[in-house]
C-alpha cells in the first residue's frame, strides 16, 4: 500500500470526477504530485478542467475514484464540515474576481480568514491587524488605503488585498485562480514576483492557475492540464 510522503503537498492518483452519474468524467488524472515549497504553474484554456481540479484540491468537491491527499490528509476520510475546516486552516485562496467584501475596509478584509480559522488566528499573533498591515506593506499597498472600503481601490490594489488575505496566518498551501486576468502584462509580472516573494517568506506552496503561458518562466514548474487530463475537454 502506498504511503503519503511528508515532502508532497498534493498526491492525486488514478483520480476521476464527474458532475453526476449521468455525465462522463470531466477530469481523469493518473498522477499529479506537488512538492512542498514548489511554485507550480497550471495552464490551459477555458473548459480544460482547471476550476474542477481546484475544487477537488480544496475539498469543495470529491473524487469518485482514486486517491487524493492534500498536506498528508486523505480528503475522502473527512466529512463536509471537516473539509471546510481543513480548507480554512490550511489553504489560502486568491479568486479570479478577488471576492472581497465591499462593506469591510482593507484591513478587515485581510484579517477575515482569522475569523474562520483558530489556527490561522494563532499564527497571526495576538493582533492579526498588525500582520495584515505588514503583509500589505510588503505587497506595496499604500498605508493611507488601509482603512478605506475596498470598493474605493483600483483593480491592482484590490488584487494585493486579496493576496494578503490568502497569506495571513501562514497557510501551508496558496492557490491562485486566474488572479491576474484583469491586469496588463507589466503589472501581472510585478504582482506575481511580489506574490512569490511573500509565499517564500511564509514557507508556503503555490499553485497558480492561468491561461496565460507568458507567465510560465516565473515558476518552478509548468503543467498543461490538457496533457494530464485524460477526460479531455469538459462538457
Domain boundaries, the chain: 8-228
Residue 214 has pLDDT above 90, yes or no: no
- What is the chain's alpha carbon radius of gyration, rounded to the nearest angstrom? 18
Categorize the per-residue pLDDT at 232 as very low, low, confident or very high, splitting at 50, 70 and 90: low
Instruction: State pTM to two decimals.
Output: 0.91
Q: Report the chain's mean pLDDT, rounded to a whole number.
A: 91
At residue 94, the pLDDT reads 95
Provide the 8-state DSSP code for 183: S
Q: What is the DSSP string of 22-91?
A: TS--SEEEEEEEEETT-EEEEE--TTSSHHHHHHHHTTSS--SEEEEEETTEEGGGS-HHHHHHHHHHHE
* pLDDT band (50, 70, 90) for residue 7: confident
Q: What is the CATH number of domain 8-228?
A: 3.40.50.300
pLDDT tens per residue, range 149-198: 999 999 999 999 999 999 999 999 999 998 888 888 888 888 999 999 99
Which grid cell is 31?
Answer: 498522477
Instruction: Inform me whether the pLDDT recorded for 202 exceeds 60.
Output: yes
Q: How far apart are CA 54 and CA 176, in angstroms?
A: 9
Residues 171, 90: contact at Cβ < 8 Å? yes
Question: Does the pLDDT at position 5 exceed 70?
Answer: no
Q: How far apart are CA 167 and CA 113, in angstroms?
A: 9
Cell 482569522 locates to 114
pLDDT at 1 over 70: no
Q: Over the stretch 37-69, which tens digit does the pLDDT of each residue have?
A: 999 999 988 888 888 999 999 999 999 999 999
Residues 127-144 pLDDT 10s: 999 999 999 999 999 999
N-term to C-term CA, the chain: 34
Identify the band that residue 6 occupies on the pLDDT scale cut at 50, 70 and 90: low
Going by the DSSP 8-state scheme, the letter that residue 235 receives in this structure is -
Residue 121: CA count within 13 A, CB half-sphere: 8
At 213 the pLDDT is 84
Amino acid at each position: 500500500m502506498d504511503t503519503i510522503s511528508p515532502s508532497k503537498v498534493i498526491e492525486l492518483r488514478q483520480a476521476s470526477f464527474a458532475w453526476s452519474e449521468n455525465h462522463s468524467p470531466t477530469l481523469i488524472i493518473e498522477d499529479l504530485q506537488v512538492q512542498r515549497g514548489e511554485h507550480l504553474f497550471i495552464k490551459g484554456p477555458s473548459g480544460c478542467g482547471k476550476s474542477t481540479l481546484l475544487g477537488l484540491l480544496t475539498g469543495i468537491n470529491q473524487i469518485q475514484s482514486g486517491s487524493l491527499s492534500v498536506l498528508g490528509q486523505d480528503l475522502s476520510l473527512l466529512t463536509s464540515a471537516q473539509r471546510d475546516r481543513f480548507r480554512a486552516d490550511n489553504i489560502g485562496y486568491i479568486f479570479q474576481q478577488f471576492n472581497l467584501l465591499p462593506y469591510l475596509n482593507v484591513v478587515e478584509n485581510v484579517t477575515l480568514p482569522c475569523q474562520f480559522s483558530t489556527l490561522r488566528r494563532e499564527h497571526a499573533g495576538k493582533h492579526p491587524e498588525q500582520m495584515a498591515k505588514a503583509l500589505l506593506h510588503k505587497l506595496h499597498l499604500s498605508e493611507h488605503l488601509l482603512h478605506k472600503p475596498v470598493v474605493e481601490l483600483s483593480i491592482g490594489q484590490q488584487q494585493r488585498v486579496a493576496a494578503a488575505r490568502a497569506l495571513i496566518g501562514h497557510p501551508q498551501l496558496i492557490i491562485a485562480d486566474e488572479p491576474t486576468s484583469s491586469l496588463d502584462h507589466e503589472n501581472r509580472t510585478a504582482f506575481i514576483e511580489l506574490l512569490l516573494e511573500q509565499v517564500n517568506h511564509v514557507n508556503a506552496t503555490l499553485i497558480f492557475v492561468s491561461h496565460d503561458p507568458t507567465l510560465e518562466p516565473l515558476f518552478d514548474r509548468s503543467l498543461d492540464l490538457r496533457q494530464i487530463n485524460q477526460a479531455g475537454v469538459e462538457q
